[in-house]
Amino acid sequence: MNIIRSIIFILILLFPFFHNTGFARIIIVPFLICGFAVMAKNICFLINQVRLANLFHKLYVISFFLFGFSFLIVWSYSAIKSGDFISLLFTIPFWLIGIYMLRKSLFPKEQETSETKKKLNFDPRIIVGGFLVGFTLLTGIVLFVIGIKDTYQLNQTTKNYVTTDGYFVDYDIYSSDEDGVTYKLIYTYRVEDSEYTVSTDYGVGSIPEQNSIRKVNYDPADPSKAVLVGTNNNNFLIYFGLFFILGSMVFILAGLQMKGVFDRFKIDVMGLYFGIVFFLIGIGILFFQGGLSSSFLESLKALGLWVIIPILFIVVGLFQTIKCLFLWKANHLMSKQK
């Protein structure tokens, strides 16, 4: 199962790797190395080659920390360059955890003595990790609540708006940096004999075909006031909020599992959680892409071969959920009987 998961992970990464160039491709390389290392390590375990398995494990660790610290260096440099010292302050817990994990990986035998542990009434790792997880969870909740609130207000404002067809005619540069260029899409729509324009309030990485259609809601009392139907900036807040919430919940559930809280449960709680998260990610990608086009079918066509990524997330998520709800329980009972 670990080998199959690694293969799926590698296949998912190969699509963006071959469809990108420059810095975007470099970012994907460490993840690919980690995927290949995990796959090779499990294959070595399967054929009883423990030495080779340990070598591939070390390759995984090196690649993981190389990417992690490179990301922290770029993040810190960008924060210093832009004068965003709040973001720079937020990197400190990541640096502390990264350095601790690196020391533990390189020198696993150097553990704290029992006397040192007795002197300390608290574990600094738990405090730093707890602060980081709590801050991430709180950030996610705030983003999610703001996104929901703004979406509700937008729906209230536009509930009496009239829907018409908008046609893509032009674009503006939304943002441009070393990571690439994103575009603000401009659509035109007609009300009686007058023509108006409306644009996206977020940036996209690709430009649709000329005169491609997208629904527009406009105010009948003032047709110049309009919004595009589908994905908007509020959705991004909701997505990012959920991303932070789901990510921090992984660490919270892992901590509870280590404490034995889930030992009496008749299901695999952690496995079930990952299955649900994978399923939601796949559905979220399709839902988000559907908001960029006039129809769901057009959005799937726009994805092209990339559509396999959300489909794989959905399939793996469903399989993992079913396995943890039913198959895990059956295997657990069989092992007890043996």
The pTM score is 0.58
Secondary structure class of 170 (helix, strand, coil) = strand
Q: Which range (55-59, 94-98, 236-240, 290-294) has the least confidence? A: 290-294
Residue 187 is predicted with a pLDDT of 92
Nearest C-alpha neighbor of 215 from the set 290, 148, 149: 290
Q: Which two tokens stand for residue 174?
A: 């939304």
Whole-number Å distance between alpha carbons of 216 and 187: 9
List, in sequence order, every residue forming a beta bridge with 198; answer none if it has no partner: 187
When pLDDT is cut at 50, 70 and 90, the band that residue 19 belongs to is low
Mean pLDDT, residues 315-324 taken together: 82
Nearest C-alpha neighbor of 189 from the set 228, 161, 231: 228
Nearest C-alpha neighbor of 252 from the set 101, 94, 144, 133: 133
pLDDT, one tens digit per residue, over 101-141 is 777 766 665 444 444 444 445 555 566 667 777 877 888 89
pLDDT, one tens digit per residue, over 187-231 is 999 998 889 999 888 777 778 788 888 889 999 999 989 988 877
pLDDT, one tens digit per residue, over 150-160 is 888 888 888 88
Pairing of β 222-228 and β 213-219: antiparallel
When pLDDT is cut at 50, 70 and 90, the band that residue 304 belongs to is low
In the chain, what are the domain boundaries? 1-111, 159-228, 265-338
Residue 189 is predicted with a pLDDT of 92
